[in-house]
Copies of this chain bind each other. A is one copy, B any other.
Amino acid sequence: MLRGVDLRVTRPRVAVLGAVHDLPHADTESIIGAVRRDLGDVSHQAVYDVLRALTTAGLVRRIQPSGTVARYEARVGDNHHHVICRSCGVIADVDCAVGEAPCLTASDHNGFAIDEAEVIYWGQCPTCAARRDAGTETVH
């Protein structure tokens, strides 16, 4: 995969790419943890650099919902979206739902040339909704 996008193959890159595949929607810290479990010591700077390189190359996608740290996922190229639980922060994928040529109509709003439509659904995950219904009120 790395060679396919003209990136040099290094141990940190392979490990980061593996971690992003294994841990969907993981934040940088989790990825650093997984990489170190795999390789031993790796600097956090290296992981940041690698994540940027992979993102630029299009091998991973970076998402950063309001008020959270950056997260990464390996599912790219299909323009899917995300649901985020306001209570526990868990993220799930949502396939593009609206009609057929959805989300990214190559339309031209306000004269902008649009190349991506990013949709984030906010709500309650099943677990948190149940907990709240039960009265435990573990808000946030």
Contact = CB atoms under 8 A, between A and B. Distances in A.
Contact of A119 (B62, B66, B70, B119): B119
A114 B110 contact: no
Contacts of A114: 83, 121-123
A123 B118 contact: no
Query: Interface residue tally of chain A, by bracket?
Result: 35 or more
A66 B62 CA distance: 8
Given A83-B110, A97-B109, A112-B85, A119 B122 contact: no
Given A109-B121, A116-B121, A67 B64 contact: yes
Interface of A: 62-64, 66-67, 70, 83, 85-86, 92, 94, 97-99, 102, 105, 107, 109-126, 129
